[in-house]
Every structure is written in C-alpha cells, then in structure tokens.
Amino acid sequence: MKKLMSKPVLAMSLLYLLCGCQGTQSSFTEPVEMVEYFADNALSTPLAIVQHPAGIHKNGITYVSYQGQFTDPYVAAYNHNTKQWQGPFQAGESDLGRMNKKKPDNHGKPTMLIDDLGYIHIFFGGHGGSPKDGENLLGNYNSGRNKHVVSKRPGDISEWRELKNISVFGTYNQAIKMDNGDIYLIYRHGAHRSDWVYQKSTDHGRTFEAPVSFLKHKPHETQNNHDSWYVWATKGENDDIIMSYDYHVCPNDTKARGHIPVRHDLYYMVFDTKNNTWRNVQSEPLITPVTRQIADAKTLVARTGGEDMWTFNGTTHLDPQGKPHLSINIGKDIGKPWGGSKQTHYYRWTGANWTDGNLVHAQQHKSKGSEGDFVPHSATDIQFTLAYEEKNKDAIVADFHSKDGGKTFVKGQELLHRKDVSWSVSSLIKNAHPDARILVAERPKGTNWRKIYLLGDNGPIKRVKSEALVLTEADKSIFK
C-alpha cells in the first residue's frame, strides 16, 4: 500500500494535536482524493454471473477477482476492520488475451474458492482448449486452456503458483466447497457442443479426480441443431449441490451468421454428493448424464416463451425451509444474437408447483435490460440486487424487495448510479459482509477498459485514487 503521509509530516501533525493547536489537516498534507472504484484495469466484460463465486468474505476480509490486462485474473482484498485495500495482484496468465485478436475473449473470467486450510484458489482462462492440448472425449474445441492457481500462503493474495490438475478443456468454472472440505469444480468440458462435468478434490484442491459428465450434449434427433446447456450451480443443504440450467439450441448451419447463442427454458435438479445420486425437485431419481429428453420430462421449471424469446443464466438459492428459488434473464433476441433486452424473472417452488416467472424490475417499461442475483430471506421475503440500464441512459445498481413471494417487487436503495454506461456484474459475494455484497464494472463506450466497484449496503467501498489507478500507458494500448 502507498503511504498517505510522510513520517515528518505525520510527526508534525501529532505535535500540533498534542499542543492543542487548531490547524487542519490541509495545513500539513495535501487532501487525499477518494474514488468509488477500487481498480481501473478491468478488461472488456470482466465479470459474469456464470463464473462464480468471483468474491468471498472470510475473517473480516472480502477477497475479489476479475478479468484484467490480457484477460489475466486479478485479485484484490478489502479489510473491513482496518478499512484498507490490498492489491490488485495478477494471479496467473491467460491464453485468451494473447491470441492476437482485436477483441478480448471473455470466457476465461476467474472463479474463486478458499479451501479449509485458508489457501485461495483461482480457476480461469478456459474456452474449450484446442486439439493441440489433446483429445477432448466429452466435447469440441475452441481456444484457451483452463487453468488453476493457488496462493502460496493462506489468506495472502500477493503470490501464486499454478497447479496443473484440472482439465484444460473447461469453460465457465464454478467452484463449490462442501461442509467436509471436498471441492467440486463444475464446468462445460469444451466449447458449445460439450458435456457439463464436475471434478472432485478431497485434498483441498491439490489433486482432482477425472471429469464426470452430468449433462449430455448430442445431436437433436429431428432438427438441424445440437442439444447443449448452460448451468449455474451452488451448494444446497447438507451434502447437496443444486443447479438451474437452460437449453442451448446450437444450430448446425452457422456459416452465414456464425454461432448464434439461442437459449430457451429453465430447469432444476439436485446432486447428492454423499450418495453420488441425482434427483429432481420432487425427489425422483435421475439417470445421468441427463439428456434433453430426461430434462424435459423430469426437471423442467418453465417454458420461457416462443422462438424469439431467449434466455441467459440466472441463479438459484434455497430459502431457510430448503425450498428452491430461481431467476433467469429472458429477452427478445432474434436478429440480435449478442444484444437484446433481457429482463430478470423470478420463480420459486411452493412444495407442489413452480410459480410463474414474475418480472423483478419494478419499472421494467423503462429498462433496457437487467441482471443480478438474489437472497431468499424466507419463502416470501426476497431481495434482488440488479444492475440495469434505463432508456434515458441512466445505469443503476439497486436492490428490489418482495414481501409476497415474488408476485410484486418494489425498488429499494440505489447502490450506484451512472450515465451512458452499461454494466457487467458478478453473482453475490459468498458469505458476504453487508458492506460488500456484489461486484460491478461500468462499461463506457469507446474503450475496453473498465472501472470496477465493490458494492454493499452503503454503496461502493471507496479507495484512495492513486491506489485505484492501476493501468499504465502501455496497458492502455492493448485492446483499445
């Protein structure tokens, strides 16, 4: 950390205080400028809901990760007791930002885990690997090797070492630690036409077992498409992992338009890690890897609209009674494969059925799209934190509350408000401190560089400006 006062100035300030002198701080030091962001070196789309957790709170410190220069993983930490920031430090080196492409490949954003010994793990850099990395028996290829680094010391983010113990073909890492310390790394085993798998570690992430498929990719039986999936998984009750997912229609004919990310519908299932069994919400057993036919028959939560209504990952959580609550982002995307206006919808299991997917944004008629995460405080008390943009070009991060089980939502406090930017947003910080609940990065037009914020009940956690200015002039010439 940079010193805010020299020793002579500090000594003189203490002398004046002891003498009862009435001089102000400005008499002896230059004012310290504070900013609301903690770093300015986030690159392109540096955060996403699907790569999670991006941050973890433990022992009074919030650790956060994001995509920085060359799409490398960067890690920072905020101490809530001392009110000081540390970092960001580069934790590893990604292939994706070094492939001589004009546009960054954002699929390798970092995922964080802290093991039971206190070491911090980061998984990053993968977008399916390539044939030169070997044969992918569970999917196809794209680029970028999936990597795993661990801190050299518990709780210390300043130095890292790489562990070559996970599949290089991984994409969309999601890391989960169970109560007994076992670690599950969940990801797609390759590019779009690949199985979703997990790898298990029983020794604090030092070794991992071979990948095990639980969602199957395969050609569609009648249409000129391929069945594929996008998953969001987290720890459930006891030994369970819960997950929601949507169906990716991967067209075979992509020559004219390139790959089109058409996605539909919402599904839910549970993995009992103790007994190595899978079940649906009604506790009916599932045969894995789950195919589209099994998913439609056993795990479907909702059809999310016609062919022109596309989906994008939301999240899933259990309420205190153990019942699942889900979100999914739905929007009309036909003709705009990388754009569209997706709105966050909410579903919950009543014990007998899934509720209809109600809109969360209380002013959805003004919104150009929303994305975020939520906490079910009870079966009926739901709190969302959403990042969204309004048609008047206001970009806002705010809380939304429901007291009637998601039938209606009311906007609460705004955590951040900007003009003429869009957002990328993480899922909620794991075990979050109230002052540090979610990461967001603002995306102004005309540049790939982003300022990144840590937000909580009191808005952004501020930092001394000179510490938050991480980018160098040389950095700024990369991915302008």
Task: Tell me the catalytic residues.
Answer: 107, 172
Distance CA(358)–CA(131), nearest Å, equals 44
CA distances from 461 to 42, 451, 457 (A): 17, 13, 10
DSSP state of 290: B
Rounded Cα distance between 205 and 184, Å, is: 9
Q: Which residues of 94-109 are buried (b: 16+ CB within 10 A; e: fewer)?
A: bbbbeeeeeebbbbbb
Round to whole Å and give the CA distance between 144 and 167: 12
Say how far apart CA 460 and CA 456 lie, in whole Å.
6
Distance CA 320, CA 301 (A): 21
Candidates 99, 49, 171, 80; CA nearest to 441 is 49
Residue 454: φ, ψ to 5°: -115, 115
* Side-by-side strand order, sheet with 73-79: 55-58, 61-67, 73-79, 84-90
Q: Nearest Cα to 58, choosing from 321, 429, 340, 365?
A: 429
Sequence-ordered list of residues with C-beta below 8 angstroms from that of 161, at least 6 positions apart, any chain: 149, 150, 152
